Structure 1
Amino acid sequence: MKENALLENISRYIHLTPEEISVFESFWKEKTLKKGDSLLRNGEICRYDSYVISGALKAFYINAESGNEEILFFAVADWWASDLDSFSRQKPSIYNIQAIEDTKVLQIGYHSFQKLLLEIPSLERYFRLILEGYLGALQKRIIYSNIYDAEYRYYDFLKTYPNIVSKVPQYLIASYLGVSAEFISRIRKKNNPS
């Protein structure tokens, strides 16, 4: 069962009884996305929270002035991919989530998620810990963007997210870091002259 990866993730934070596991598994549905398929589009309500089983996704906003994609985050196996604000408030999303490669996710709908938390209260703790980790990473990104130069941010990204670097094209990493793909090429050439 594909839920095993998610249950392994959960077991790092909390313990579920066999009865709770049985209830938990009944709430999730698997979805397959081909490369380029959308998980969520700007203006849609995020009706599902999605856990990535395999593949890679990008969340992005289209800059109205330049028309360029501004990468907000990536999600690879063992990560979550949702617009948290849209999902929790059931209001339209302001960004898009799209598959970078063929991707499989486990999904739970908003109302099912609320019911699941009532049936298995310990999951409140799990999702709080996941959210704390996400918020910590977001705070770090904001601080690093304001304090460190692009080269430092690039090397920190490589060190912090090696599993993303192996799946995501360089130009998307550049967008995430707020630099050009040419800038990253220059950094790489400077440190790996051939």
Structure 2
Amino acid sequence: MFEFLQKKINETIDITDQEFEHAKTLFIPKKLRKRRFLLQDGDPCIYTCFVEKGLLRSFRIDDKGNEHILQFGMQGWWVADLYSFLTGESSEYNIEALEDSELLLITKPSWDLLLKEVPAFERYFRILIQNNLIATQNRLMRNMTLTAEERYSKLIREFPDIIQRVPQHMIASYIGVTRETLSRLRGQISHQ
């Protein structure tokens, strides 16, 4: 179950087999069925999670009952409420499986131990967090400057299989439009 994690880590940094074998002892394999929660709003985020297989979403429900999707966690991605994970404070997010998923979880104490005992992992997670910050800034700027049609088209270009894997109302939430707007956009794009 750890082969894909090792492959993804080796795409970013070099680690020895011995270092990886030690890292494996700190992870908890977990299968999460579709529509089950890894994290619920109000609970502390006690794991950061590597998605070996499947698809998750991180989202929040506002005071009016509207859903706002922060992230889809696809195979090979990490998912957590990083603020809650690092501080131990309650999360404002939910993390739910959209498909039956196979995950590798690591707790904050185990994560800290991994960073201490295998310094290469400190570099690995620093690079991941840097990349996440850049992606978040880019997404924020796209949401402020691109039209809804441009945001939808960009999402489909970057993740072409997402429309088969994710319900349309969730795609609408992710790009910040209503279901009706997304339906209209899809119609316009299919006529082009």
State the TM-score, normalized to the length of structure 1: 0.94
State the secondary structure of the residue aligned to 2:165. Answer: coil
What amino acid is the match of 2:137? Answer: Q
Tell whether 2:73 aligns with 1:75.
yes
Task: Measure the CA separation in 2 of the matches of 1:163 and 1:78.
Answer: 15
Partner of 2:39: 40
- For 1:148, the aligned partner's letter is L
1:124 alignment partner AA: E
Counterpart of 1:166 in 2: which secondary structure?
Answer: helix
Give the paired residue count.
192
The superposition leaves residues 8-42 of structure 1 with CA deviations (integer Å, 9 ceiling, x where unpaired) of: 00001111112212211111111111111000011
1:109 alignment partner, one of 107, 110, 114: 107
Structure 1 letter corresponding to 2:149: E
- Write the mapping of 1:42-191 to structure 2, written as runs, cut at 5 A: 42-64=41-63, 66-191=64-189
Q: 1:76·1:164 contact (CA, 8 Å) conserved in 2?
A: no
CA shift in 2, pair 1:163/1:132, >3 Å? farther
Unaligned runs of 5+ in 1: none
Alpha-carbon distance in structure 2 between the residues aligned to 1:97 and 1:32: 14
Aligned pair 1:21/2:20, yes or no?
yes
| 1:163 shift after superposition | 4.3
Mapped partners of 1:17, 1:178: distance in 2: 43
| TM-score (ref. length: structure 2) | 0.95
Rounded to whole Å, the distance in 1 between the matches of 2:122 and 2:178 is: 40
Identity percentage of aligned residues: 38
- Large movers: runs of 4+ above 4 Å: none
CA RMSD of aligned residues (A): 1.4
